[in-house]
Amino acid sequence: MTSQNSSIIITKEDEGLRLDHILTNKLDKTRSYIHYLFKEKLITCNSKVLKKSNMVKDGDLINVIFKELPEVKLKKENIPLDILFEDKYLIICNKPAGMVTHPAIGSLRNTFAGALLYYLKTLPQSDDPLRPGIVHRLDKETSGVIIGAKTTAALTALQKMFAERKVKKTYAAICLGYIKDQSVNGPIGRHPKDRKAMAVIETGKEALTDFILHKKHKGYSFIEAKPHTGRTHQIRVHAKSVGCPIVGDPLYGPKTKKAERLFLHAEKLEFIHPFTNKEISITAPLPNDMKNFWNLHKLT
């Protein structure tokens, strides 16, 4: 295992920012890798081991020791699945918030892929050995409908359907502010200054989202979002772009303790079954934490 060192001098522009955000940008490394270095206690200032949440000041010298990542493997996990639909070709589940779709550095356990492998015993292989049977993904804190494929033919067919936009997706979300019925057509690409974030930029890829307002009260909106494209963080970025970020969004929303997680829920998927040609429409009930938030703020 090899390692090397790097030093970063904090400037006035960095003051007030979390150290993990600063290092992710300045070192051009992934956020998960930076978090791994923090966990291994390889980031220091004046010989003091730092935490990822530490704030720093102008002139601080941050020392970083790079370390090779351990090998990531997919392991079976005995985690009950909330199954909404299942046949010999595919399985559709309601993923809880907090579960990652597949393992990665920093998120090796509590994965949908691991739970799926335990339940089905075997899964069709994809180009990525960590994602067998995975048709699409949801962010860790996003709950709701997710599909797994049981056969190689099903995996190929379903991934093609998503790529060709033949799967209709409907999300439920609670936003800050009063969002209006509208279609947001804004190209999305990597944020020019924040490597871990996306943004609406001219050089980005085409992205289209329909927003439908259902309820609004006391500075909050309960909305339905229908993405026509599948860009990274699309709904979150588009909601922010119109001034109504999703409640609890740690990346695109204001710093707030009013929600424990991102209030975004993949509510419904609709498509034509690739083998039976039947119309499939699967809905995942809204999770209790979002319901409780509505009740607390009288959004019903």
The residues carrying an active-site annotation are 139
Amino acid at site 67: K
Q: Which of 294, 227, 225 is nearest to 265 (CA)?
A: 225
| 70 class by beta-carbon count within 10 Å (0-12 exposed, 13-18 middle, 19+ buried) | exposed
Angle of helix 19-26 relative to helix 31-39, nearest 10 degrees, comes to 120
Q: Which residues is 198 bridged to in the sheet?
A: 190
In whole angstroms, give the CA distance from residue 132 to residue 276: 23
Amino acid at site 211: F
Do 181 and 226 contact (CB within 8 A), yes or no? Answer: no
Report angle CA 28, 163, 121 to the nearest 5 degrees: 85
Do 228 and 165 contact (CB within 8 A), yes or no? Answer: yes
In whole angstroms, give the CA distance from residue 180 to residue 94: 28
User: What end-to-end distance do the CA atoms of the chain give, in Å?
Assistant: 56
Q: Which residue has the tokens 């790079």?
A: 66
